[in-house]
Amino acid sequence: MRRRQFIGNAAVAAPLAAAPFQAPAPMGDKPAIKITDIKTFMVWNGGRNWIYVKVLTDQGIEGIGEAYSCGPDEATVKVIEDYKLWLVGQDPRNIQYLWDLMYNTTRFPGGSVVNSALSGIEHALWDITAKAAGLPCWALLGGRVRQKVRVYQSIGGGSPQEAGENAQRLIEQHGYTAVKMSPHNRGDNQMPYNMVTRIAGQRVGAVREAVGPDVDIGVDIHARYFEVQRAIRVAKEIEPYYPFWLEEPIRPENFDAMKKLADHVNIPLASGECNYTKYEFRDLINIQALDIVQPDICVCGGIMEMKKIAAMAEAQYIMVAPHNPMSPLATAVNVHFAASTPNFLILEYRAPVSGASKDVLKEPIMVKDGYVDIPTKPGWGVELNEEAFPSMPPRPWKRGTGYRADGSIAFI
């Protein structure tokens, strides 16, 4: 990444070292802390890589964060390594300044790769800042507004019966008061619309029957629909089973189409995992297209950016249910957000009981009776288990491609 110098009317590339950035001086009599290095770790979790960031300082305080695994994970690592050249020598406690440095100097609004890199670094800066103060991160984010954090888990299931059985089992194991599900059977892209709609009703109905009348059921279309009318049909089919929300009912690019959908359904609409920063969420929130926003803390710009998004949503009476499919470290960061955010609703979660999820942290946050406790140790209150990483070497991966019956590419 190179900045540009202007000579007359011509722009020429110049290395960053030609005009080093100057951070604001430390406040009061606190000694300066300087970033000395930024390291990345990629580990394989069985279906995708998890990307971790560790920021080191000259005072021995280290911070950790997680960047979203978008697919071209090596690209995210390279962006982090480039940002390292900008950040070494800076005081990590100047979080907003360093966020502006990365975001503004990149100039072009970032997509998933750039924003993931920025988010992972930002997490680590908060971890360092809170550790230096001897406080949990939530104490620096406005303090705690709740005593525990409600969570839910996705249930899977290849058929209506299997989905119902999975939901029942998860509730029995972990005491969840909410679950999330897909309304689609396998091969739905190959099916006629009416068949997809009918099966969606069968699946949600089977889960409702299995869990009873009081458990909340989120329904996630996963942005597979392009047409508003198709989402309206499915919404009407599942409405009798009182869904908690309808998530990503259509593609996320067209905010006006989402508003049109909102005007025609009686189920709360939720979306936001594919949107970045306060700038994109501003329009979604202002036009009242959603009842629940779902930014992802590992790609939307980090925890402070998500606090800003939540504040805009709060002013419009909209709740926040963070998207959180990543590792137990992302869960920990989200728990600090949830602890300090009044309009937080519920957190996506996967119990770290097997595989990489139980090993990447020394003590992952565990669910009990559908809630998780809020850490009280300084920083995020969790540590990476780096000794386990060699047993989880990263792998190339890509999302599976969906095909329609005519051979064209479907949305996934």
- Can you read off the two tokens belonging to residue 360? 């990447």
**What is each CA distance from 301 to 280, 297, 396, in whole angstroms?**
11, 7, 25
What is the helix (H) or strand (E) element at residue 4, kind and residue range?
strand 3-7
Residues 6+ apart with CB under 8 A from 286: 316
The residue ranges of DSSP E strands in 169-228, in sequence order, are 178-181, 216-220
The residue ranges of DSSP E strands in 204-313, in sequence order, are 216-220, 245-247, 269-271, 292-293
Q: Are 220 and 181 in contact (CB under 8 A)?
A: yes
Q: How far is CA 281 from the centre of its chain?
A: 14
| β-bridge mates for residue 63, sequence order | 55
DSSP state of 374: P
Assess whether 184 carries a catalytic annotation.
no
Q: What is the secondary structure of 355-394 as a DSSP string?
A: GGGGTSBSS---EETTEEEPP-SSBTS--B-GGGGGGS--
Assess whether 174 carries a catalytic annotation.
no
Q: Which of 123, 174, 184, 323 is catalytic?
A: 323
Q: Would you please indicate which residues are annotated as catalytic (active-site) residues?
A: 222, 323
